[in-house]
Amino acid sequence: MDKKIDLVVTSAPHVRNKISTSTIMRDVLIALAPATIWGLISFGFQHSFGMIVVSVISTILAEYLGNLLFHRKSSLKDLSAGVTGLLLALVLPPSAPYWMVIVGAFSAIFIGKIIFGGIGSNPFNPALVGRAVLVVSWPTLMTSWMNPVLKGLGSYTYATTTSATPLAIAKFQSFPTLIEMYGSKFALYKALFIGNVPGCLGETSALLLLIGGLYLLVRKVIDWRVPVTYIGTVFVLSYIFRKDPIFSILAGGLFLGAFFMATDYSSSPITPKGKLFYGLLLGIITVIIRAFGAYPEGVMFSILLGNAFVSYFDKIVPHIYGVLKKKEVKA
């Protein structure tokens, strides 16, 4: 009797990498640690930590239920669900109620990931899908910001009042008004760089997000093309539109989006030229929304819209396996 052999048939090219998904996700968690810790310090440990725990547990539970529902092999060991949960918590207002975090977490996993086939098959960033659902469903709660106050090098007080983000003040009032609130342009830059401004839980400190992004670059977890092109495009276009370019790249969720969201393996291009065009598009959309849209921030929308064009960017001058170049043919 012939022995049956199970064959796995996949499309070419068959390129493999020894680095596991869990190793990559572990590096992402390490890179997010500085900004996460700063968020806990800035906005109060108890509720902020609770948000992170609720979000991570909810995404893991949603992943387990999704695999169970669709009869798929468990994917919890790769840590991707936990990373999605942490990222979701970091892009939410620090005052977000726990029930809303749970809704966002299940939306991120089921709508952003499970229905497309699970990890590696999702065309959109799951954490941003979850955030988009919450923005559309509860816009008021998603724009309620806490106002952290920093005094000296180690003394922190937590303000009970709410405040608009720097981007919102600059858009709906004026940039000079924002400078006046912080005392000077340098003081504004400093607050944005360190992270002493209202905003989402993990997006306020450009410095710590930059450190995390550099860690991912050094570890070769992400490619420099997407974040550099994205941030550079925002800088240049902001200058062209007569907006303060330094403020434009330091404010909002640009660094968090550029290093940790736009570089998601499943929803970003794989070709070098595709990554450049992708980062360029993200920067253009972000600046257009900030300058002319109804929202003060455009990072979330730009990445989700950019995700929809990834397959087209990967077709820009692709390398066709088995086809000789003109120079090779002549030789």
Q: Are residues 105 and 194 in the same domain?
A: no
Q: How far apart are CA 27 and CA 5, in angstroms?
A: 37
> Do the domain assignments include residue 236?
yes
> Do the domain assignments include residue 28?
yes
Of 141, 171, 197, the last residue of a domain is: 141
For residue 154, pLDDT beyond 60? no
Around 271, how many Cα atoms within 13 Å sit in the side-chain half-sphere?
14
Q: How far apart are CA 300 and CA 126, in angstroms?
A: 11
For residue 11, pLDDT beyond 60? no
> Do the domain assignments include residue 215?
yes
Q: Are residues 182 and 81 in the same domain?
A: no
Q: Are residues 186 and 248 in the same domain?
A: yes
Mean pLDDT of all residues in 1-16: 49
Q: Are residues 166 and 309 in the same domain?
A: yes
* Tens-digit pLDDT profile for residues 163-200: 789 999 999 999 999 999 999 999 999 999 999 999 99
* Token digits of residue 103: 């809704």
DSSP state of 258: I
**Cβ 249 vs Cβ 166: under 8 Å:** no
Assign 324 a pLDDT band (cuts: 50, 70, 90).
Answer: low
> Do the domain assignments include residue 247?
yes
Within 10 angstroms of residue 278's Cβ, the number of other Cβ atoms is 28
Q: Are residues 203 and 270 in the same domain?
A: yes
Q: Give the distance, in angstroms, between the CA of residue 181 and the centroid of all CA atoms in the same chain.
A: 29
> Do the domain assignments include residue 318?
no
Q: Are residues 99 and 180 in the same domain?
A: no
Of 141, 170, 198, the last residue of a domain is: 141
For residue 279, pLDDT beyond 50? yes
> Do the domain assignments include residue 326?
no
Q: Are residues 70 and 211 in the same domain?
A: no
For residue 121, pLDDT beyond 90? no
Of 89, 112, 141, the last residue of a domain is: 141
146 pairs with which residues across the strands?
Answer: 162
Long-range residue pairs from 177-180, CB within 8 A, at least 24 positions apart, any chain:
none
Q: How far apart are CA 33 and CA 10, in angstroms?
A: 37
* Tens-digit pLDDT profile for residues 70-92: 887 766 778 889 999 999 999 99
Say how many domains are in the chain. Answer: 2
Q: How far apart are CA 50 and CA 57, in angstroms?
A: 11
Q: Are residues 114 and 240 in the same domain?
A: no
Q: pTM of this prediction?
A: 0.86
Mean pLDDT of all residues in 49-69: 94
Residue 327 buriedness (CB in 10 A; 0-12 / 13-18 / 19+) = exposed
For residue 153, pLDDT beyond 50? no
Q: Are residues 248 and 110 in the same domain?
A: no
For residue 281, pLDDT beyond 50? yes
**Cβ 230 vs Cβ 178: under 8 Å:** no
> Do the domain assignments include residue 169?
yes
Q: Are residues 133 and 180 in the same domain?
A: no
Phi first, then psi: give them for residue 147, nearest 5 degrees: -115, 90
Q: Are residues 38 and 79 in the same domain?
A: yes
Q: Are residues 268 and 222 in the same domain?
A: yes
Q: How does the average pLDDT of the chain come out, rounded?
A: 87
> Whole domain around residue 103: which residue ranges?
22-141
Buried (b) or exposed (e) across 104-125, using 16+ Cβ within 10 A?
A: bbbbbbbbbbbebebbeebebb
* Tens-digit pLDDT profile for residues 200-240: 999 999 999 999 999 999 999 999 999 999 999 999 999 99
Largest CA distance in the chain: 85
DSSP H stretches of helix in the chain: 21-43, 45-69, 80-90, 98-110, 126-137, 166-172, 175-182, 185-194, 206-218, 225-240, 245-250, 254-256, 272-292, 299-307, 310-313, 326-330
**Cβ 101 vs Cβ 88: under 8 Å:** yes
Angle between helices 272-292 and 299-307 (to 10 degrees): 140
> Do the domain assignments include residue 328?
no
